[in-house]
Amino acid sequence: MYLKVGCLFSGGKDSTFSLYLAKQWGLTIKCLLTLIPYSEDSYLFHYPNTWITKIQSQVLQIPIITKKIYSSSIDEEYKELDQLIEKAKYEFHINGIVHGGISSNFQKNKFNNICKKHNLKLISPLWQVDQYNYMNKLLSNNFTIQIIGVSAMGLEANWLGTNITPINLQNLILLSKKYGFNISFEGGEAETLVLDCPIFRKRLEIRKSKKKWDGQRGIVEISDIALLDK
């Protein structure tokens, strides 16, 4: 079956790389779907700076549909996702959903149940990928990725606003082994923002931001983004 798909999109590395792979596989990306969670404690969705997904949709030249969630309840998040996917199917005539999950069975099962309900195929390009190879592959494929949230022991405030490079990736790998967090941040240990990649028509530059750190975790609150020619 020829697949026309929507992509669950947070603007971070996993959803963007999954989108990148889906395009390489010849899938037609009809739309991006972004849910804006009520709080940073969401079990299903990326929280910081989700407004930037609308700018990323411009540089991807893919339409986006967004929906705010007004509760931190998992059931409410699930309900809102169900409605968003139903809307995408109706408006864009998709027959599949691309999902950026790597190893969370909880998350994948939630998404898969909704897809089955709407007779859609769930596509997970990164599922069970080797996380160390994956992180290196992001950089070798010219993804510019900034860390915009940290919430794991071993990840201090100095990582906020830092772009991942081949050199500091090695430091991250050492920290992940020492403190036991996932190097791909699959468990929410950090949040990322893609500023550039091969499928962006322009690159993003952060012009104004503020770091918020409470002693254990923090985020970069971005208030101004510029689009620059590549």
pLDDT tens-digit readout, 166-176: 999 999 999 99
Q: What is the pLDDT of residues 100-144, one digit of tens each?
A: 999 888 888 988 999 999 999 999 999 999 999 999 999 999 999
Q: How many CA atoms lie within 13 A of 198 on its CB side?
A: 13
Backbone angles phi, psi at 86, to 5 degrees: -60, -40
- Asked if residue 98 lies in contact with residue 22, where contact means CB atoms within 8 angstroms, the answer is yes
Average pLDDT of every residue of the chain? 91
Query: Does residue 45 carry a pLDDT above 50?
Result: no
DSSP3 helix / strand / coil % (the chain, rounded to 5) = 35, 25, 35
- Asked if residue 224 lies in contact with residue 206, where contact means CB atoms within 8 angstroms, the answer is yes
- Asked if residue 39 lies in contact with residue 177, where contact means CB atoms within 8 angstroms, the answer is no
All structural domains of the chain, each given as residue ranges with its CATH number in brackets, are 4-123 (3.40.50.620), 143-228 (3.90.1490.10)
Total-model pTM: 0.93
Backbone angles phi, psi at 163, to 5 degrees: -80, 140
Query: Does residue 217 carry a pLDDT above 80?
Result: yes
